Amino acid sequence: MFKKLFGLDKKKEEVQMPEADGKDVLVSPADGEVVALSEVPDPTFAEKMMGDGVAVKPSSGKIVSPVTGEIMQLFPTKHAVGIKTVNGVEILLHIGIETVNMQGEGFKAHVGEGDKVSAGDTLIEFDLDLVNEKAESTITPVIITNGDAVASMDKVEGEKVIAGETTILTIHSK
């Protein structure tokens, strides 16, 4: 009875995973401007040591899922999240540069490992001003970490973007 009274009898709505079609379209994880990885002030990302992709200079402190998939990893400091698409493409969203040193301060996760997400779902909220103050940069790389699974990638760079709406990458899987 208490479950029904407080709505606890309702199951969480499950995200329907689309069929794999060999193509993943990624929307921007944040409002702001999409830039080339070469503009990221960290050689690990700028020199594509972790993989190829793009980066977003966020204008607000909200990060959404760029794609429908599954949360594979949420870093304990909540500054980074890994998502696997239905086509097997692995995406790393890394909020800011040197944000790991903040030890989670100013970050709030809305997802956990194993959660299914749709493009546009809120993943993490963060205090943009605090990151500007305590980290090297707010720039947020969007990295494809398993490039060997990718046949080709079409990037959008140098444009203003809207979180959950503007396409920033189209990935064709092998």
Our answer to whether residue 94 is catalytic in this structure is: yes
CB-facing half-sphere around the CA of 98: CA atoms within 13 A:
12
Closest among 65, 72, 68 to 20, alpha carbons compared: 68
Q: What sign has the CA pseudo-torsion 67, 128, 46, 111?
A: negative
- What secondary structure does DSSP assign to 17-49, as a single string? PPPP-SEEEEEPSSSEEEEEGGGSSSHHHHTTS
Distance (Å, whole) CA 141 – CA 94: 5
Q: Which of 79, 94, 110, 172 is catalytic?
A: 94
Nearest to 27 by CA among 56, 4, 5: 56
Report the C-alpha gap between 93 and 162 in whole angstroms. Answer: 16
Which pair of tokens denotes residue 15?
Answer: 């995200």
Q: Would you please indicate which residues are annotated as catalytic (active-site) residues?
A: 94
